[in-house]
Amino acid sequence: MWLDAGFAVVEVNYRGSTGYGSAWRDAIEGRPGLTELEDVAAVHDWAVSSGLADPQRCVVSGASWGGYLTLLALGTQPGRWTAGVAAVPVADYVAAYEDEMEQLRSFDRALFGGAPEDVPEVYRECSPLTYLDNVDVPVLVLAGDNDPRCPIRQIENYLDGLAERGTAHAFYRYDAGHGSLVISETITQTAIEVHFAMRSVGLA
C-alpha cells in the first residue's frame, strides 16, 4: 500500500536485531533506541545521497519497538524527518515501565542496566518524552486501549506534551491491545497511516 501510494520503503536492519551474532544483537544494551537510530541515520543518509529519497519528504514509521524508535527519532534527529507515524509505541519509558507486564520489566532492566530508580539518566536519555521540545513535524500515533506491552497512559503523557506545545499531531485509538488481529481493522489503520503520510509530504 505504501508503494502504491508513491513511497519508497526502506526497512533498516539495525543493531539489536538477530542474524549477525551476539555482539550485534546485544549492542543496544545500556543505550537502547539511540544506538539503533545511529544506524537509521546512516541508512537515511544513503537513501538521500543515492537519490532514492527526497530529503524534504522522508517519513519515519514503525510499530511497537519501531514506534518507539519513530518517536525517539523525531525528537533526537530533527531536520531528517517530514513526519512520523508511530503505532503502539513506547513514548514515556518510565511510565511504560510502571504499567507494563512484569516480563517486559525484566527485559527492560536487562536492556537499560536496571530499573528507572537505578539508572534514571539512562531512561531519561532513551525516552521520547524527553525530547518533546524538538518535535516540529506532524506526528500520528495509533494505540490500543488494552495494551499490556505499550500501555495507553504513557502514550497519553506524550500526546498531552505535544498538545501543550502546539505540535501538529493525530491520534487513532482503538478497542484492542498490542495491535489488532481483525483484518478490517488492520486495513483501516494502514489506510490512516498512509493517508497521513501522504498529506504530510504533499502527495494528497
**Which residues does the annotation mark as catalytic?**
64, 147, 178
The strands making up 139-144's β-sheet, listed across from edge to edge, are 59-63, 83-87, 139-144, 169-174
* Antiparallel, parallel or unpaired: β 169-174 and 139-144: parallel
Q: Report helix, strand or coil for 140.
A: strand
- Of 14, 6, 4, the closest CA to residue 53 belongs to 6
**Alpha helices in 34-179, H assignment, sequence order:** 34-49, 65-76, 93-99, 102-112, 120-125, 152-165
Cβ contact 81:60 at 8 Å: yes
